[in-house]
Amino acid sequence: QGQYVALACSRHGSRVLDAIWSGAALGARKEIATELGERNQELMRDPFGHHVARNVALTTFLKRREAWEQQQGAVAKRRRALNSILED
């Protein structure tokens, strides 16, 4: 926490942040997106930051929070379904 923008704007850090995002629960995703959203313009000017902003759907988070939460909930639901299939 507090370092997400720095991670997003570096070549290797952006990959680390993508991995953190993939494993994060909805609450953690909100915290990450909130921190990134505070410096959205900086992310959009950086090639690695722009990639991260796209992956976390930052524009949707900032402009249509409810739609973003539904989208993230659907992703989590698909992940749970896939995990249950793989465990069987």
Q: How many CA atoms lie within 13 A of 13 on its CB side?
A: 13
Q: What is the pTM of this model?
A: 0.81
Helix and strand numbers (H, E) in the chain are 7, 0
- Taking only the tens place, the pLDDT of each residue in 47-80 is 999 999 999 999 999 999 999 998 888 877 777 7
Residue 85 — very low, low, confident or very high, per pLDDT cuts 50/70/90? confident
Structure tokens at 67: 């739609």
- Predicted local confidence at residue 15, as pLDDT: 96
Average pLDDT in the 10-29 region? Answer: 93
User: Cα–Cα distance between 80 and 8 in angstroms, integer?
Assistant: 26
